[in-house]
Structure 1
Amino acid sequence: MTKSPIRRAILSGIAIASLAVTAAPASAIIVYDPTNYAQNVLQAARALQQINNQIRSLQNEATSLLNDAKNLTSLPLTVLEPLQQQIQQTQKLLSEAQNLTYDVSKIDTEFAQKYKNIDLNASQKALVADAKSRWQNSVGAFEDALKVQAGAVGNIEGSRNSLNRLVTASQSSAGALQAAQAGNQLLALQSQQLADLAAMVAAQGRAQSLDAAQRSAAQAQGREQLRRFLTPGSGYVTGKARMFRN
């Protein structure tokens, strides 16, 4: 009989709990599904990865466009005009060559006349005049060579300044086009220096050739003049001499 009140209390508690559960709304019951949660997290991670990939792709495209713009930027420096002026100055010096100039047809005519086919039967006066003309040609050629050499030496300072500017521009070039243009101008500078060198070699060679031809012609003329001197003539002819004036 002592256990009946306790049993009644337990049964009453169970009944009250059952009524509370029954009276609770359906929305208040939370059901956790781990599989569904994992799938949602995986989908969100994949979406985030795709967004990151798109961002990197846009960044690469922007960088590529910037590089293309730099590669298409022209070099703001040019030394073509001063190089052309230096070449024109050298050409002017060559065009001012004296006597036998750098003209093939004129060289053929005058060289054959004054050096190759000397008229050894000409008068003594004519032989002396031809020898003087050949000597003047040699002296003039050496003077022309000195002028060309002086002009080439004068171009060295301008070439040095152009070289420094081009090297600086090449090292600080923003893109491939600027680097290529700087390289092309460096090649133009080398071409100008080679042109000066070729002009000096040509002028010096011309002077040496004319000097050698002058000496060869002088030897031939000298032999003819010696032959004339040694050829027996009419001899000494006596004449009347008057010592005192009447």
Structure 2
Amino acid sequence: MKLPIRLSPVVTLLALGLLALQPASAVTVIDPTNLVQNTLTAVRTLELINNQVSQLQNESQMLVNQARHLARLDYNVVNRLRVTLASTERLLAEAQGLAFEVQRLDREFARLYPAEYAHDTSGQRMAQEARERWRQGLDGLHTAMRVQAQVAQNLAQDESVLADLVNQSQAAGGALQAAQATNQLLALQAKQSIQAQQLQITQNRAIALELARQAAAAEEARELRRRFMGSGTPYTPYPVQFYR
């Protein structure tokens, strides 16, 4: 704090008092102007030191704030999300019927859902394939229902994860912790989106199996009707006389 110029008379009186107290033989000549200048220099030096101390305190607080913003969030829910997502993936891997692999699916589909039956296909084989198609449609519906049940069970765990992440985000002490909590919230949203896609895949698969079964049944019926009618001359009715 800078002292006002009114201190000069005070310094002058102080110098005069010192002259009065000392004996005549020990009187020292004091320059009042020099004393005032020295005092003002000391005050300015003290003020400069105070400013430097304040600056150092501000820099120290700034470093503390930076450290708080760079502090990592000691909380991670990624493993919990992976566990719940793996449960639905396991159900897809256990799915019966047509495989989810494209090459295997093409081979099985061409065998069980032919666009046209060969003339030498036996009736027993046609019956076996019809029953296998029915079984695959049933397995497709079962898989879709299992995935639905698993997704419903995962919702309770997702709600718990969401509540924990919201609490961590609100209690975040710095920008990095808040950003990490937000990223984990986005991971939860992505995981739920993947689950929804898996559920949609299994449902659409069950519908596609049923439609393919109906188309194959129509082709089977056409082939059986062709065999029943035969390729010869159809029957022509004519009157028969039993008695002359």
TM-score tier (shorter): 0.7 to 0.9
Percent of pairs identical after alignment?
Answer: 37
Residue pair 2:172, 2:178 contacting (<8 A) in 1 also: yes
User: 1:96 and 2:94 equivalent?
Assistant: yes
Task: Find the aligned partners of 1:190 and 1:94 in 2 and give their Cα distance.
Answer: 21
Kindly report which structure 2 residues correspond to 1:1-246, keeping only aligned pairs within 5 A, or say none.
Answer: 25=24, 33=32, 35-36=33-34, 38-121=36-119, 122-231=121-230
* Farther off after superposition, 75-84 or 139-148: 75-84
Residue ranges of structure 1 left out of the alignment (5+ in a row): 1-23, 236-246
Residue ranges of structure 2 left out of the alignment (5+ in a row): 1-22, 236-244
Residue pair 2:69, 2:176 contacting (<8 A) in 1 also: yes
Residue pair 1:90, 1:196 contacting (<8 A) in 2 also: yes
Residue pair 2:117, 2:220 contacting (<8 A) in 1 also: no
3-state SS in 2 of match to 1:100: coil
The alpha-carbon deviation at position 171 of structure 1 amounts to: 1.2
3-state SS in 2 of match to 1:42: helix
Q: 1:202 to 1:159 in 2, by over 3 A?
A: same
The alpha-carbon deviation at position 140 of structure 1 amounts to: 0.8
3-state SS in 2 of match to 1:173: coil
**AA partner of residue 57 (structure 1):** Q
The alpha-carbon deviation at position 139 of structure 1 amounts to: 1.3
Q: Deviation string for 1:35-78 (max 9, x for gaps)?
A: 54553453233223212211112212221232233234322222
The aligned counterpart of 2:239 is none
Residue pair 2:137, 2:209 contacting (<8 A) in 1 also: yes
3-state SS in 2 of match to 1:116: coil
Task: Find the aligned partners of 1:212 and 1:234 in 2 and give their Cα distance.
Answer: 34
Task: Find the aligned partners of 1:50 and 1:183 in 2 and give their Cα distance.
Answer: 45
Q: Deviation string for 1:117-138 (max 9, x for gaps)?
A: 4534222222222111111111
Q: 1:154 to 1:184 in 2, by over 3 A?
A: same
Task: Find the aligned partners of 1:38 and 1:222 in 2 and give their Cα distance.
Answer: 121
TM-score for the superposition, normalised by structure 1: 0.76
Task: Find the aligned partners of 2:59 and 2:28 in 1 and give their Cα distance.
Answer: 51
Residue pair 1:75, 1:177 contacting (<8 A) in 2 also: yes
Q: Deviation string for 1:82-125 (max 9, x for gaps)?
A: 11111111110100110112111110100011113453422222
Task: Find the aligned partners of 1:191 and 1:94 in 2 and give their Cα distance.
Answer: 19
RMSD, aligned α-carbons: 2.5
Question: Rg bigger for which structure?
Answer: 1
